[in-house]
Each structure stands twice: as structure tokens, then as C-alpha cells.
Amino acid sequence: MTNSEAIAASPRQRRLRWILAAAAFAVVAAPGAADARMARAPGAYDGVWNVVFATTRGTCSSGYSVPFTVRGNRVTSAGGGRVSGSVSRVGGVAVHVSVGASHASGGGRLAGNFGAGSWRGVISGDYCSGTWQATRT
């Protein structure tokens, strides 16, 4: 290839490189765009969720089951105690629960009719933490 042929091919090569770079970017960016399209609609997690708590650290009792209500992006109590929290469009959940002097916070993820995460708090004066699992009823 002569110098004049290389110079003449240069704009074509630059255009081809740009197209290849744009295609590579589209492949990398597409999964994020797909995730945004697949995000659940508001209310996708609505219903009563039965949440079972397990203590993994501390002397708090384990196995308590508490019903929570999800409506839109808000989490509230479906039974005793004060519950406040939120659920994101992709199922991320953050909740704060208080009953008398006991209080705990937790986070995790809901997917379909199930969820799981972790919690920590002060229950009857003892610092404890653990995991939770939820099932939509």
C-alpha cells in the first residue's frame, strides 16, 4: 500500500473504527438499558408479606414472624408495632421497626413472591442482628 492509498483509506478506516466503537459501546450499555426496562412497575410488590426473623448475633429470640404490608413503594405494619420503609422499583427494601423500647432496621431484596435480607437492632435491651426471609401471602 502506498502513502497516497493509506491517506485515502484513512477516513474510511476512521469511520469504520467509529462504527465499531459505537457498536461496542451499545453492547456494553444495552444490559443497563434492559435492566431499566425490566424494572418492576410501581405496585409490583403490593400485598401482605410474612417476614420471619432469625438471630445470628446476640441473645434475642429467633423465629419471630411479623406481617408487613407493601403498597406502592411504602412498607407499613400489617400487625403490631410501628413499621416504616420503602421498596425500590427493582425490589430493594429498607425498613425500620419499633415496638415499645425495641427497635430494628433492615434491608434486603424482594423478588417475585419471596425476599431476604439482614437486620440489626436493640431488642429488649440487647443488641442483636440476623437475617430475614419473606413470603408474599
Q: Which residues make beta-bridge pairs with 112?
A: none
pLDDT at 39: 52
User: Strand 47-57 relative to strand 126-136: parallel, antiparallel, unpaired?
Assistant: antiparallel
Rounded (to 5) percent helix, strand, coil in the chain: 25, 50, 25
d(CA 96, CA 105): 4
Give the residue extent of every domain in the chain. Answer: 1-38, 47-136
Mean pLDDT of the chain: 78
Q: Which residue has the higher pLDDT, 23 or 128?
A: 128
pTM: 0.69
The answer, yes or no, to whether residue 30 has pLDDT greater than 50, is no
CATH code, residues 47-136: 2.40.128.120
Instruction: Determine how many CB atoms are found less than 10 A away from the CB of residue 106.
Output: 21
The residue ranking higher by pLDDT, 6 or 101, is 101
pLDDT at 13 over 60: no
Task: Provide the greatest CA pair distance for the chain.
Answer: 86
